[in-house]
Amino acid sequence: MVGLLVNQADVVEAHKATTGTQKTLDRLSFDGRRIPKPVIKRLSLYARALQKFSFAGMDKISSRELGDALGLNSAQVRKDLAYFGQFGVPGLGYYVEELRGRIKAILGTDRVVRLAVVGVGNLGQALISNSAQYAREGFCIVAAFDADKRKVGGERGGVPIYHVSDLQDKIRDLAIDIVAVAVPSGAGQLVADRAVESGVNAILNFVPERLIVPKHVHVQYVDLAIEIESLSYWLK
């Protein structure tokens, strides 16, 4: 256990050595301003809400209406948007379609984001089969991987399943942007290492482990057990 920790520290140190202190804010900044992470999450919510409003035929919307729909303060909506420019019209609000386009451009979902799912267990399958739904939001699952040879070769919901040993090649060939890790507990770090080596710098991790990755790689953790456990605190 201690050995493992030392090992992880080594990895981090090694990375520091190769990349320098990395004071560059990569993409954490926009026009020189630093963007708080919560803002990015809300931006996604705005985009989705705007899609609904647009579908409902509204052509403009105020920060108050948008905030109310999401349970947020109107000032927060305005401030979040102000990080990226001035999109609104005083006295009128925001043009729904224009704002939606701007937000999608900021998030990078104006082009298709290419996703790979590693681990075709129940969770992996759930992700794959919801992909049609996600497609509307601008991303696409282009490949799945599993260690079980019996699953390899086929496809699920139009997504081909490869063996994990092909992960690195396919990441490059298929220009994968994001890797979703849904493998059994214990195998997460290995998959992450492979993905990072192949140039992936965004990982969605469903494995209940902390992943050690270079600083430029962003990891989103989704930990269902933790969500349930923390809910139970609020039961009488």
Contacts to a copy of itself by CB under 8 A: 1, 5, 9, 26-28, 40-41, 43-45, 47-48, 52-53, 56-58, 65, 68-71, 106-109, 113, 115, 121-123, 125-130, 133-134, 137-139, 177-178, 180, 185, 201-204, 208, 210, 218, 220, 222, 224-236
Residue 206 backbone dihedrals phi, psi, to 5 degrees: -100, -5
Within 13 Å, how many C-alpha atoms sit on residue 146's CB side? 20
Shortest Å, Cβ 185 to DNA: 25
| Beta carbon nearer to a copy of itself, 52 or 165 | 52
**Beta sheet of 155-156, edge-to-edge order:** 155-156, 159-163, 139-146, 113-118, 178-181, 202-205, 218-221
Cα–Cα distance between 85 and 95 in angstroms, integer? 14
| DSSP secondary structure code for residue 177 in this structure | -
User: Are 74 and 99 within 8 A, CB to CB?
Assistant: no
Q: Does 93 bind DNA (CB under 7 A)?
A: yes
| Beta carbon nearer to DNA, 102 or 104 | 102
Q: Which does 97 bind (CB under 5 to 8 A by kind): DNA, a copy of itself, none?
A: none
- Contact footprint for DNA (CB under 7 A): 36-39, 62-64, 72-76, 78-79, 81-82, 86-94
